[in-house]
């Protein structure tokens, strides 16, 4: 296993129990290929870390903002979603320390890798909570996750792409966007959709996903970039 001193420096946490840190970095697939490995995979730690992250984020928003519940819920979702957590995990270089199966390690599916990274970050939060307690977990979350809130608010990242694109389309062109399925393939358990978003007859952008809704959101996100909104 890689020397974890640099990772602990990146995290700003010096673990008393190194096995907790190691477990947080072990994906289930690794144990399928290394059945005699002495530590468990990170799913139980992820389960714990997810709850700790939600509690600390919710408490912070509640204590610092008088906004209604609906707005705070959207802000929290934008802080703790898989995409944001994966970006934070990437910045902390967590990927360099993950234990994956050979197949998982060679998989270039960005969405799948981001999901693994987000889960690993939650597992690390769980490990920090068990090793150092709630206050240390709170410091880690404040430093690495809650610090993203000003950027999220300034850029309205808490507004989902479909709503934002519709709002801007109506404001600028007085047009409601239309979404059309351009491509659909795969068996029921592993569908692929490509959806285009149009302003009247003008094609703006396309997006892909494992459901029509996911592909529509991706299309709207790409359309916002295309229009510079």
Give the residue from 90, 125, 154 where a domain finishes.
154
**What are the backbone dihedrals phi and psi of residue 26, each rounded to the nearest 5 degrees, phi first?**
-100, 115
Top-confidence range, 45-49, 75-79, 99-103 = 45-49
Task: Note whether 27 and 104 are same-domain residues.
Answer: yes
Residue 75 confidence (pLDDT) above 80: yes
Which pTM value belongs to this model?
Answer: 0.78
List, in sequence order, the alpha helices (H) in 65-109: 69-80, 82-91, 102-106
- Token couple for 180: 């059309």
Catalytic site residue 122?
Answer: yes
- Judged against a pLDDT cut of 80, whether residue 13 lies above it is answered with yes
pLDDT at 101: 93
Q: How far apart are CA 175 and CA 170, in angstroms?
A: 5
Boundary residue ending a domain (128, 154, 180): 154
Range of the domain at 216: 161-227
Query: Considering 50, 104, 131, 221, which one is annotated as catalytic?
Result: 50
178-215: pLDDT as tens digits: 999 999 998 887 889 999 999 999 999 999 988 899 89
Of the residues 46, 104, 122, 131, only one is catalytic, namely 122
Length of the chain: 229
Asked whether residue 184 falls in the same domain as residue 146, the answer is no
Using alpha carbons only, how large is the chain's radius of gyration in Å?
A: 20
């Amino acid at each position: 296993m890689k020397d974890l001193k640099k990772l602990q420096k990146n995290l700003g946490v010096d673990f008393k129990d190194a096995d907790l840190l190691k477990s947080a970095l072990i994906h289930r697939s690794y144990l399928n290929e290394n059945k005699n490995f002495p530590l468990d995979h990170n799913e139980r730690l992820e389960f714990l870390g997810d709850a700790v992250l939600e509690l600390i984020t919710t408490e912070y928003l509640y204590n610092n903002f008088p906004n209604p519940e609906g707005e705070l819920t959207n802000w929290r979702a934008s802080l703790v979603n898989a995409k944001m957590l994966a970006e934070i995990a990437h910045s902390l270089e967590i990927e360099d320390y993950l234990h994956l199966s050979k197949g998982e390690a060679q998989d270039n599916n960005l969405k799948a890798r981001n999901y693994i990274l987000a889960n690993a970050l939650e597992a690390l939060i769980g490990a920090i909570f068990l090793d150092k307690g709630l206050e240390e977990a709170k410091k880690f979350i404040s430093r690495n996750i809650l610090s993203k809130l000003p950027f999220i608010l300034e850029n309205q990242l808490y507004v989902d792409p479909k709503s934002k694109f519709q709002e801007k389309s109506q404001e600028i062109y007085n047009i409601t966007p239309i979404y059309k399925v351009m491509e659909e393939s795969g068996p029921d358990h592993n569908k692929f959709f490509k959806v285009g978003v149009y302003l009247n007859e003008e094609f703006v952008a396309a997006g892909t996903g494992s459901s029509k809704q996911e592909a529509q959101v991706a299309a709207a996100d790409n359309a916002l970039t295309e229009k510079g909104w």
